Amino acid sequence: MKKLKFAVIGTGFWATYQLPAWFELESVELVALCNRTRARADDFAQRFDVQHVYENVDELLDRHADELDFVDIITDVDTHLYFTTKVAERQLDVICQKPMAPNLDAARQMVETCRQWGVRFYIHENFRWQAPIRQLKAVLDSGAIGEPFKANVSFCSAFPVFDNQPFLAQLDQFILTDIGSHILDICRFLFGEASSLYCQTTRVNPHIQGEDVANVLMRMHSGLVCNVAMSYASILEHEVFPQTLVTVEGSAGSVVLRRDFEIRTTVRRPDRSVDTQSQIARPPIYDWADPDYALVHASIVDCNRNLLTDLQGLGGAETTGGDNFETIRLVYAAYESARTNQVITL
């Protein structure tokens, strides 16, 4: 397979893991780094043996556009449109971190700009690549529980996310953009598209700017009703960060993704008693991963692999810009619903 050359823009918290996740794959070569704080990029360059470092994206592109195949943008959401446009204009393929954009208009512009320049555009959306989520999807696809009609999806935690990512506390729109973009994407991955949505939000933590609790109720095209609970204010018996817990009920049974990656599938036997089977869908553990985030960090590798396969011309990318636009549409529809206290028809 041809080795693809790429550059990274942004060397913040998330890049600390995204870079070693790239190095788990063989057919990529990281050529250059760009970060507004030079010292941090220099530190990364030394750690990951990268030859070229820039503070300015234009300089990076002037020097390297000819040899690059794609650019991975790992910066804050407010800069995504700017950097995506810069990279697309040089006719390079773009991978951009989630959430795609700070509003729907910017997201639309990003998709359109990449389309106009004829470049491939992907969002690095990794939660759907978590081992237990893939296994849960396999159970649903197997038909074991029949036709799913109801789901509860929960990401409720009191993990101190602001310690590692202090900027999250400054966001006017916090949990729906930061975690909602992941969890609503999982819902689309598992259950397909939504036809309507209702949302309520709350801020519990007085030291942050945005909402830290959001409850979203969606009716999916399939007819399934999906109840999504997200919170960073939940002091619970078991802290499960960063696990997503899911219960799906179907016409022939149910499947539950519990803490510690346990998936329990219950079906009726012909004598009307029930049979429950359990399996554990443990993620791989990488030595560069932060143990607190190991489940998520492992999924970065699988997400990168999926996008790289597509970049190699083999197709199959799941989280293209066009696909992720549907996720980000749910995020901003949820804000609109919470603001207006109305059901949003999608």
What is the binding site for ligand 89Y (CB under 6 A)?
161, 165, 178-179, 242, 296
Nearer to ligand 89Y, 35 or 97 (CB): 97
Nearer to ligand 89Y by Cβ, of 32 and 300: the residue is: 300
Q: How far apart are CA 3 and CA 25, in angstroms?
A: 10
Residue of 219, 250, 230 lying closest to 153 (CA atoms): 230
Nearer to ligand 89Y, 2 or 207 (CB): 207
Closest by Cα among 191, 187, 170 to 334: 187
| Residue among 135 and 165 whose Cβ is closer to ligand 89Y | 165
Instruction: Report the C-alpha gap between 326 and 311 in whole angstroms.
Output: 21
Residue 161 CB, nearest approach to ligand 89Y (Å): 4
Give Dmax over CA atoms of the chain in angstroms.
71
Q: How far is the CB of 122 from ligand 89Y (least distance, A)?
A: 16
Q: Which two three-digit tokens encode residue 48?
A: 């990951």
Which residue number is nearest to ligand 89Y in terms of Cβ? 161
Asked if the peptide bond before residue 99 counts as cis, ω within 30 degrees of 0, the response is yes
Which residue, 217 or 296, is less far from ligand 89Y as judged by CB?
A: 296
Q: What are phi and psi of 295, to 5 degrees?
A: -60, -45
Which one-letter DSSP state was computed for residue 166?
A: G
What's the closest the beta carbon of residue 166 comes to ligand 89Y, in angstroms?
12
Task: Give min distance, CB of 255 to ligand 89Y, in A.
Answer: 24
Residue 131: CB partners within 8 Å, gap ≥ 6? 261, 281, 282, 283, 284, 295, 298, 299
Least spacing, CB of residue 46 vs ligand 89Y, in Å? 25
Q: Chain-centre distance of CA 187, in angstroms?
A: 12
Closest distance to ligand 89Y from the beta carbon of 159 (Å): 8
If the CB atoms of residues 179 and 226 are measured against ligand 89Y, the closer one turns out to be 179
The residues, any chain, with a CB within 8 Å of residue 95's CB and separated by 6 or more, are 70, 71, 72, 73, 122, 123, 124, 307
Min. distance of Cβ 304 from ligand 89Y in angstroms?
15
Q: Which is nearer to ligand 89Y, 72 or 178 (CB)?
A: 178
